[in-house]
Amino acid sequence: MRKFIALSAAAAVAASVGFASDADLKAELEALKKEVAALKKQTKGLNAKRLKKQMSQLKAAALNDNIKWSVDFRTAYDVIGYKDINDNSSWNQIFTNRLWLGMGYAPTNNVVFKGLISYYKAYGQMTNTFGANFNYFDWVVNETPNPNGELRVKEAYWLYFGDSFLGADIPWTASLGRRPATDGLLASYREDQNPKSPLGHIINTEFDGASFKFDLSNVTGVSGMYFKLCMGRGMTNASVRYAGITPAFVYAANPSNAAALNGQQLVVSGNGTDYNKVPGYEATDLAGFIFVPYDDGQYSVHTTAFKALNLPGIVLNSQTANVDTDGDGNNDAIAGSFKQVGDMYGAAISLLAQGVGDGISDMLDDTNLFVSFAASKTDPQDGNRMLGSADKKTGTSIYAGANWPCQLIENARVGVEYNHGSQYWRSFTYAEDTLAGSKLATRGDAYEIWFNKELVGKTLTAQVRYTYMDYKYTGSNGFFADGGTPVEVDSVQGRMMNAIDKAQDIRLYIRYRY
């Protein structure tokens, strides 16, 4: 302020030199001095630093009192085809709309809230909703087109940032809530988005839980090194409130000690113990870690390992294995029940190059290459079968890919990916958004090529993608009990089952993001 006043006075004096007498100049200087004195009196007590701080506080308060929203809206057209081992084919075309409403709020510099509301629906009313309960299974509810197009919470969590941990130079974070657990690293490339928490090779499933990340690069001197603890709950054993006090009517030929009502016996199920345990179930939990031993921004190594407890699946009932459901005298169905059967271990290591070489060419500088190896091992409990076997079974998977800037079309990328899974491979990739089935879970070979194009920057984009899955064993998309039993597709039993041999998905989409 003072500098501005002085410069103004000098300019006024310079402007008047050529046109005023000495008396006039002296009078003008005296008047200017009075104005300066008056300005000093008005600004007395004001502190520039304090004003700046107050302005920053006002600005921060104005911004932090508002949630920042984002929009991600995708319209996709999928052509899906299946062919069984007996050469029977089935094709369909599906239009879908998917809307993600993102939200973020940062009341302070070290606390952030993030949320994501999802709507995912097929065009029109779905004719056959049989089996829709699994469509609403918590692990996949936002990655499968739902009949009614409900708005559902896909993510909701808070994130705390710490500058040091227990006095050591270890920046750290803590987070609780509905975790960002889909479209992780590697799988994120074909989805054209920033990678989320897990390694996409072995985990791509929604869950509720917590994570704690520790940046070790400062204390070890190794670029990008960090360790992250992850915990989640995939299924609770708590009963639904009021579920145990609904009256039920059961048929009784000779009702005793109860009032007979039109040939029925009135039975009140449950005893009103709200939120008690569901009989026969325990919570399905997962705990593990992500460890990055090296990441210099171009070359990196990513590892993960976990244990999942009390995993569920369809268990075949041998006493009613042959059931005539349509009354034609033929046994045409297998009865079973949904129960928990045991635990599972999983691990993966991924090698990633984000840029090949250094300055060899513009294309190689912007080329991504990766290869990943993963393994799973079942641990049946209490004499149950996992993946159709009472013994521990190990499965393995390879995931490799490359993507680079298209040389023929500007602002576009091309990617190719390959997967191979063994007989007993089992991944947690149920939420992978490929309508024909999870290619990462394939017991056999999967091939994919995709093309992503910016139409109006990142605001409006398009994708063309082709996924081809060649199954060697059944059960790729099953759960952890008998429904995940691997039967060789090209076998007598496989032909009797009309086992799916090939699956294809051609996808075209237009996507708006803001």
The pLDDT score that the predictor gives to residue 54 is 59
Dmax over Cα atoms in the chain, in whole Å?
127
User: The dihedral of CA 119, 513, 428, 442: what is its sign?
Assistant: positive
- Cβ atoms of residues 511 and 462 within 8 Å: yes
Query: For each successive 10 residues of the chain (514 residues), what is the average pLDDT?
Result: 43 42 64 69 54 57 72 98 96 95 91 94 75 60 70 93 95 95 95 92 94 97 97 89 56 49 52 74 95 97 98 78 50 72 98 93 95 98 94 98 96 98 96 93 98 97 98 95 95 95 98 96
SS3 state at 5? helix
Cβ contacts of 383 within 8 Å, gap of 6 or more = 390
DSSP 258-323: S-EETTEEEEE-S---TT-BPTT---EEEEEEEEEEEE-SSEEEEEEEEEEEEEEEEEE-GGGSSB
- For residue 8, count other CB atoms closer than 10 A to its CB: 13
Residue 35 to residue 41: CA distance in whole angstroms: 10
Identify the pLDDT of residue 124.
Answer: 85
Strands 152-162 and 111-122: antiparallel
H/E element holding 32? helix 22-43
464/506 Cα distance (integer angstroms)? 8
pLDDT at 3: 42
Q: How far is CA 309 from CA 222, 381, 384, 483, 486, in A?
A: 34, 10, 14, 18, 21
d(CA 375, CA 352): 18
Distance CA(187)–CA(207), nearest Å, equals 18
CA dist., res. 194 & res. 116, Å (int): 15
DSSP string, 94-159: EEEEEEEEEEEEEEETTEEEEEEEEEEEESS--S--TTHHHHT-TTTTTTS-BSS---EEEEEEEE
Tokens of 88: 């029977």
Q: What does the pLDDT read at residue 30?
A: 73
pLDDT at 212: 97
What was the pLDDT predicted at 19? 42
The pLDDT score that the predictor gives to residue 10 is: 45
Q: What is the pLDDT of residue 11?
A: 44
Q: Which CATH superfamily is domain 50-238+277-513 in?
A: Porin (2.40.160.10)
3-state secondary structure of 195: coil
User: Quick check: helix, strand or coil at residue 226?
Assistant: strand
The pTM for the full model equals: 0.79
